[in-house]
Amino acid sequence: MSAKFPVLEAYLNRDGSFDRGVNFAVSATTALFTGDPGTKSLSEQLEWMFSYFNRTCGLDKG
């Protein structure tokens, strides 16, 4: 990579190392929920992100 940005592990890779960040994007993504089990919507990815932030920032009450 010419910009020297690190490759970020995918959030769905549970064995990944998130030391340098995490990638919430997935292929076959739609902006709206379609109900197709093969696609993930933007709102699902945002939920993953909020859940991750709550866990890593100590905001998760559970």
Residue 61, in any domain of the structure = no
> Band of the pLDDT at 62, cuts 50, 70, 90?
low
CB distance 39 to 28 below 8 Å: yes
Number of domains making up the chain: 1
Residue 1 placed within a domain: no
> Which two tokens mark 43?
């709102």
- The pLDDT of residue 12 is 82
Asked, for residue 26, whether it belongs to a domain, the answer is yes
Q: What's the whole-model pTM score?
A: 0.62
Alpha helices in the chain (DSSP H): 42-56
Tens of pLDDT, residue by residue over 2-59, are 678 878 888 888 888 888 888 887 776 777 777 777 778 888 888 988 988 888 887 6
Q: Report yes or no on 62 lying in a domain.
A: no
Structural domain harbouring 51: 9-56
